[in-house]
Amino acid sequence: MKRTILLLAGALQAVLLFAQTTQPVPAESQPQPKPKASNLLEAFEHGHFHGSFRTFFMATDNTRQLSDYYAWAAGGSLHFATSPWHGFSFGLGGMFNYNLASSDLSAKDSLTGAVNRYEIGLFDVENPKNRNDLDRIEELWLRYQWKKSRITVGQQSLQTPFVNYQDGRMRPTAESGVWVEINELKNTKIEGGFLWKISPRSTVEWFGVGESIGLYPKGLNPDGTGSGYPENLESRGIGLLGITRQWGKRTKIQVWNQYVENIFNTAFVQADYTHPLKNKHKLLFGIQGTHQDALAHGGNEEVSKTYFQKGGQSNAVSAQTGWQHGNWQALAAYTRVTADGRFLSPREWGREPFYTFMSRERVEGSGDSHSITGRLNWQTKNKKLRLETAYGHFYLPDVKNAALNKYAFPSFQQLNFDVRYAFGGMFEGLRVQFLYVWKGRLGEVYGNDKYVINRVDMSHYNLVFNYIY
């Protein structure tokens, strides 16, 4: 904790020498850096701060005598960016976090030997006993901007289909690398780059791409033995390329490729179409396709220590349809991961992009699976209050079929109820969220509660207060 506080304090003190009058303001009205600075001093004077404070309470109520958990975290962030000087700008930011109160997140359940799954994500998954040294420099970048495009080198946070914030805890995932955004073509955005380090959500350190895979639960090899890839994967980094094209007012198409050197490649395409009806009603349609291939030996020549089996592949298709009118939206979605192989995407890097995704669960690690969801969204005209209810059935292979069920997860049903409110007036910048999740079992567990705890037959509660300035 001390090292990040000292670093941020030092940076803040240096910046304040140049910017005595800078004041934090709500995120919605944050001042943008002036377009030009005549010298380096002016670049700092015209820069701006932004940050946040967050407190997060989370609790899990497992069935019967299985262990229950709770945790209460609090923390904040501070970020600074200079105004552009000859097209160049500089950014620095970090975050701190405290465990205010919690159950013993390092203790194993007495009946199953299972460890905590959700609450530890508020802190440090590598060290469940760590309550105070929960800090991280998240941003340290140099950027060059020309016209509408830019290139950024250093530590930053990206949002792509498979590498993204997944900001459902105290800190988002961050990446270190070079990233280019080109916006010179009408209705077209081209972005991509190369990443060599990652600091996953729920960690406090930076890791090479290979060593970042396996910080979260590792699951099973296809033969049913415990996966041996943590700390045994070699990769120079991740190459990403994405093209987003808006066709007229109704159609949007995205094409992405993720190349994880020496491990695997993922190709992804998504098309969304909006069809207007009478009286401002709209029909919504979307389709996604995903294909994966192993590269070389999938990360390690030893079969028991590799991430993606040599010669392996996976295929998935996801579709969505819905209706929208005013402040209401109703959506139905379906995802099919074929029996060609397990869909694999390191959970440390981000959440999966499928239309059927629901907070607090994923189908990553499964093959031959079917997911069906429905959701209803509503918000007030001023968008201050938002409600979402989602329900889904997720049909996975048998828990003993490790070849197609990496995490031995039973088929389940899930209900999410999400309420969000953004305050105004004297509390401008304050936002609150309540998320309730219930998961019920659909698949066979053979009387073994290790397939139940923290997975099904449980309720999960989240209450979050965010102040963004």
Alpha-carbon distance values, 204 to 129, 172, 197, 291, 346 (Å): 13, 11, 13, 32, 18
Q: Encode pLDDT of 416-426 as tens digits.
A: 999 999 999 99
Say whether pLDDT at 22 is over 70.
Answer: no
Q: What is the pLDDT of residue 166?
A: 87
Q: Contact, 269 vs 253, CB < 8 A?
A: yes
Mean pLDDT of 35-63: 93
pLDDT band at 380 (very low <50, low <70, confident <90, very high): very high
Q: What is the pLDDT of residue 312?
A: 97
pLDDT band at 132 (very low <50, low <70, confident <90, very high): confident
Say whether pLDDT at 20 is over 50.
Answer: no
Contacts of 451 (CB under 8 A, 6+ apart): 399, 408, 409, 410, 445
Say whether pLDDT at 463 is over 70.
Answer: yes
Say whether pLDDT at 49 is over 50.
Answer: yes
Comparing 4-8, 113-117, 124-128, the range with the smallest average pLDDT is 4-8
Say whether pLDDT at 370 is over 90.
Answer: yes
Mean pLDDT of 84-100: 95
Q: What is the pLDDT of residue 284?
A: 98
Contacts of 112 (CB under 8 A, 6+ apart): 66, 448, 449, 450, 453
Q: What is the pLDDT of residue 273?
A: 98
Closest CA to 290 of 321, 254, 323: 254
Say whether pLDDT at 26 is over 70.
Answer: no
Say whether pLDDT at 207 is over 60.
Answer: yes
pTM: 0.91
10 Å CB burial of residue 428 (0-12, 13-18, 19+) is: middle
Q: Encode pLDDT of 320-350 as tens digits.
A: 999 999 999 999 999 999 999 999 999 999 9
Say whether pLDDT at 93 is over 50.
Answer: yes
Q: Encode pLDDT of 57-83 as tens digits.
A: 999 999 999 999 999 999 999 999 999
Q: Encode pLDDT of 249-304 as tens digits.
A: 999 999 999 999 999 999 999 999 999 999 999 999 999 999 999 999 999 999 99
Say whether pLDDT at 206 is over 60.
Answer: yes
Q: What is the pLDDT of residue 299?
A: 97
C-alpha to C-alpha distance for 170 and 163, rounded to whole angstroms: 17
pLDDT band at 133 (very low <50, low <70, confident <90, very high): confident
Q: What is the pLDDT of residue 34?
A: 53
pLDDT band at 9 (very low <50, low <70, confident <90, very high): very low
Identify the helix (H) or strand (E) that includes residue 371.
strand 369-379
Say whether pLDDT at 7 is over 50.
Answer: no
Mean pLDDT of 95-109: 96
Task: Compare 169 and 237 and report the one with higher pLDDT.
Answer: 237
Q: What is the pLDDT of residue 8?
A: 39
Q: What is the pLDDT of residue 99?
A: 96
C-alpha to C-alpha distance for 296 and 433, rounded to whole angstroms: 44
C-alpha to C-alpha distance for 315 and 264, rounded to whole angstroms: 13
Task: Compare 169 and 294 and report the one with higher pLDDT.
Answer: 294
